[in-house]
């Protein structure tokens, strides 16, 4: 029964999980999976590079490459993935330091090991049901725990695109 002025689908799920243009006066979708002018009013580019944060009013963002951005010389190695379907468990917190091959968590008793050394920068909540290959966390190889409590350059740029789109709509 509530009508919103703005809805922002910021799940970054790489696909539309059900967002439609009729949800608000302005509907934004972040990243691939949305088409401006069809299921959203605006799409914001989330792929690193020259167009990161770009406001798209017709069409879609760049397709998902499946390759995480390069940080400290690492891409896919940074990402922690579920080895099977089941409940994710971990006793660690964002900001904890790890070495390559350390056990970071498990799914149904199958261990998840760090592929590189670094700081745990992202982690889903333990006790969540995950599907095989679901991203459950990521490691920042720069080993600087201060990055865990600050907004990344990528997030700041995407957020700036969102803000610009909203201001453009409502502050003519």
Residues 46-91: tens digit of each pLDDT = 998 999 999 999 999 999 988 888 899 999 999 999 999 999 999 9
Q: What angle do CA 1, 9, 36 make, to 5 degrees?
A: 105
Residue 19 · residue 40 · CB < 8 Å: yes
Query: Is the confidence at residue 2, as pLDDT, over 90?
Result: no
CB 9 within 8 A of CB 23: no
Total-model pTM: 0.83
**Helix (DSSP H) and strand (DSSP E) numbers for the chain:** 1, 14
Q: Are strands 135-140 and 35-36 parallel, antiparallel or unpaired?
A: unpaired
Alpha helices per DSSP H over the chain: 153-170
* pLDDT, tens digit (0-9, with 9 covering 90-100), for 89-130: 999 999 999 999 999 999 999 999 999 999 999 999 999 999
């Amino acid at each position: 029964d509530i009508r919103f002025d703005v809805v922002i689908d910021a799940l970054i799920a790489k696909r539309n999980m059900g967002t439609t243009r009729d949800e608000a006066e302005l509907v934004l979708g972040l990243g691939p999976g949305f088409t401006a002018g069809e299921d959203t009013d605006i799409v914001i580019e989330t792929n690193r590079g020259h167009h990161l944060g770009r406001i798209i009013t017709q069409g879609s963002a760049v397709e998902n490459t499946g390759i995480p951005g390069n940080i400290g010389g690492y891409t896919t190695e940074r990402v922690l993935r579920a080895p099977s379907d089941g409940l994710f468990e971990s006793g660690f917190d964002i900001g904890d330091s790890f070495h390559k091959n350390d056990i970071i968590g498990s799914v149904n008793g199958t261990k998840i090991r760090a592929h590189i050394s670094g700081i745990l920068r992202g982690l889903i909540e333990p006790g969540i049901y995950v599907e095989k290959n679901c991203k459950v966390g990521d490691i920042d190889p720069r080993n600087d725990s201060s990055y865990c409590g600050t907004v990344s350059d990528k997030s700041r740029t995407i957020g700036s695109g969102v803000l610009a789109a909203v201001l453009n709509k409502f502050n003519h």
